[in-house]
A and B are shown apart, each in its own frame.
Chain A
Amino acid sequence: MKAILHIVEHDFRNFFRYKWWLAGLISMNLADLFIMALVYNQMVHPDIAKEIISYFSFFAPGVTVIGLFASAYMIGREINMEVRREIHHYMLSLPITRLELAIGRLLAGGLRGMMYMSPLLLTTFLFLGFPSLSQLLAILGALFLLATGIAGLSIATAVSTKSLEKFVTARGLVYYVLFFCSSIFYPLSLIRTLGQEGIMPQPIVTLAELNPLSSGTDLIRSFLMGNPPFSFDMIRNLVVFSVIFATTAMFAYMKLLER
C-alpha cells in the first residue's frame, strides 16, 4: 500500500508541473460553459428546453465530465513519454513490484482526474443545487470509476506505441468519438430519435447509449435535474468500462515493464 501511495504521490507531483496546461484546460471548460452554453440557452427548441430545463443546466454536468476525461487521460501522455525515453527501466530499479507500479499509475491517473474535476463539479452544484449525501457519494463513486477507466484506456493506448504522434492521433480519435457520440452535448433521446428516423446509424446510437461518458453525465443529471431518470444501467456501463480498461492497462503496463 505504501509503495502504491509513493507512485500516486510521484504522479501527483508531475501533474502540478503541467500548470499551464491545466490553466488552458480550465479556460476552455469555462468558455464552453459561460459562453457557448449561455448562447445555446437561447437557441434550444422549446420542446427540448422543457426536457432539459435550460442548456446551461444540461451542459454543466457535461463540462464536468469533459474536464474529468481530459485530465485523467493525461497519465497516458506521461507514460508514453517514459516509454520513448525508456524511463521505465529506472522504475524497475525501484523497490516496488510491477503490480504495485501498475496499480499506482492507474490510481494516480484516476485521482488526478477527480481532483481536476472537483471545482467543475462544485460549479455544477452551485448552479443546479446540491445533492443529498447519498447522491453525492454515488456521483463521486461513479466518477471515480469513470476516471479510473479513462486512465486505463489512456495507459493501454500509451504503451501500445512508442510514437508520440500515433499516441496523440489515437487520443484525438478516442476524444472525438467518445465526446460527440455521447449525451454530453445533447440529450440521448435526441440521438435515439435520429436513429429511429434512419438519420443516425444504429451502431452509433448503441455506442452513445453504452458510452461511459453518457452514463457519467446522465447520472449527475438524474440526481440534480431528475431527467433522465436514474437507471442501474448507468452504473453497469461505468463498472464494465472501468473493469475492462483498468485490467487491460495493468496487464499492458506490466508487460511493458517486463520487456
Chain B
Amino acid sequence: MKTLRKILLVVERDLRMFLQYKFLIILRAIWFVAQIAFFGLIASRMVVPDLADIYFEYYIAGVVIMMLYSASVFIGYDIFEEAEHGVFEYLLSLPVSRRELVFGRSIGGGIRSFIFVGPLIAVSLFVIGLANPLNFLIAFAALFLFAFGVSGMSITIAVGLKSSDRFDILMGALNAFIIRLSTTMYPQAFIQEASPAYAALTNFNPVTFASDLFRWGVGIERYLTLDPMPVAAIVGLVVFFSAFTFIGVTFYERRLEGGGWK
C-alpha cells in the first residue's frame, strides 16, 4: 500500500510537469488538425476506389495512434532535462525506492499521454462514429499498455544514452521508421504489394498492434492486419509492455547507481 502511494506520487509529479508544456500541447494539436484537415482529406481522394470510402476514417485512427506514440515518448526528454539540471540527485534523495521511481515514471508517462490524446480521441470518435462501445472500451484499455510500453522504451533509451543529442536523433529516426513501417498510414495489403520485407516488419511492430486495435475498437474492420482480433493485438501489446517496462525498470535502476547517468 505504501509502495503504491509512492508510485502515485511519482505519477502525479510527471502529470504536473506535463501540463507545463502548454506550447508543445498546442503544437501537437495544430499538427493533428493539419494532418486530418489537409492530408487525410486530400489523400482520401487520391487513393484507389477500394480504399477511398474508408481512407479518411482509417487515417484519422492512425493519426491518433501516432499522437499517442509521440506523447508517450516525451518522458525520455524529461529524463535528459532532469539529468542536465541536476534534478536526478534531488529525486534520488527522496524516500522513494529506485524501482518505485522508475515504475511511477513509466506509468506517469503513459497516463499523461492519454490525457493529451483524450480530446483528440473524442474528436476522432465524433468523425468516425462508434459501432460497438464494448469493443472500444476493450481497445481503449489495451492502448494503455501501448502507452506504458512506449514510455518504458523511451526511458530505457534515454537512460542507455548519455548524450541528449544522440537520444534526440535516435528517437527521431526510430519515430520515422516505426511509424512508416506500421499500419498507421496505410493498410498492410498495400505494404505487402510494395515490399514483402516491409510487410514482414509491420507484423512485429507495436504501432501496428495499437493501430489495428483502435480501428477494431471504432468499427473500421476492413484491412485489419492481425488475426484473430482483438486477441492477437492485445497479446502483442502485453509482450511489448512487459518487455520494455521491466527492462526499463531494471536498466534505469542500474544506471542510477553511482551516478551512472552522468
A21-29, A148-156, A244-252 - interface stretch: A21-29
The A-contacting residues of B in range 155-195, CB under 8 angstroms, are 165-166, 168-169, 172-173, 175-177, 180-181, 185-186, 190-191, 193-195
The answer, among B24, B43, B181, for a CB contact under 8 Å with A35, is: B181
Whether B43 pairs with A186 at a CB distance below 8 angstroms is yes
A181 at the interface (CB under 8 A from B): yes
Q: How large is the interface on B (under 10, 10 to 19, 20 to 34, 35 or more residues)?
A: 35 or more
The answer, among B39, B49, B166, for a CB contact under 8 Å with A180, is: B39
Q: A27-B176, A194-B42, A194-B45 are in contact. Are A39 and B168 (CB under 8 A)?
A: no
B70 at the interface (CB under 8 A from A): no
The A-contacting residues of B in range 15-70, CB under 8 angstroms, are 23-24, 26-27, 30-31, 34-35, 38-39, 41-43, 45-49, 51-52
- For the complex, give the distance between the alpha carbons of A22 and B28 in Å: 22
Determine the chain B residues whose CB is within 8 A of the CB of A141 once the complex forms.
none
Cβ proximity bits A32-49 to B, threshold 8 Å, 1 near / 0 not: 100110111111111010
Whether B190 pairs with A43 at a CB distance below 8 angstroms is yes
The B-contacting residues of A in range 138-182, CB under 8 angstroms, are 165-166, 168-169, 172-173, 176-177, 179-181
Where chain A touches its partner, the secondary structure class is helix
The B-contacting residues of A in range 208-229, CB under 8 angstroms, are none
Whether B51 pairs with A43 at a CB distance below 8 angstroms is yes
Determine the chain A residues whose CB is within 8 A of the CB of B77 once the complex forms.
none
- Measured CB to CB, the closest approach of chain A to B184, in angstroms, equals 11
Whether A44 pairs with B46 at a CB distance below 8 angstroms is yes
Whether B42 pairs with A27 at a CB distance below 8 angstroms is no
Determine the chain A residues whose CB is within 8 A of the CB of B193 once the complex forms.
42
A136 at the interface (CB under 8 A from B): no
Determine the chain A residues whose CB is within 8 A of the CB of B194 once the complex forms.
38-39, 41-42
Determine the chain B residues whose CB is within 8 A of the CB of A39 once the complex forms.
185-186, 190-191, 194, 198
Whether B23 pairs with A31 at a CB distance below 8 angstroms is no
Kindly report which residue of chain A lies nearest to residue B51, judged by CB atoms. Answer: A43
Determine the chain A residues whose CB is within 8 A of the CB of B191 once the complex forms.
39
Determine the chain A residues whose CB is within 8 A of the CB of B176 once the complex forms.
24, 27-28, 31-32
Top-5 shortest CB links A-B: A24-B172, A180-B38, A176-B34, A165-B23, A31-B176
Binding site for B on A (CB under 8 A): 20-21, 23-25, 27-28, 31-32, 35-36, 38-46, 48, 165-166, 168-169, 172-173, 176-177, 179-181, 185-186, 190-191, 193-194, 199-200
Binding site for A on B (CB under 8 A): 23-24, 26-27, 30-31, 34-35, 38-39, 41-43, 45-49, 51-52, 165-166, 168-169, 172-173, 175-177, 180-181, 185-186, 190-191, 193-195, 198
Q: Besides A43-B186, A180-B38, 9 other CB < 8 A contacts?
A: A24-B169, A32-B180, A35-B181, A35-B198, A40-B186, A44-B47, A165-B24, A168-B23, A168-B27
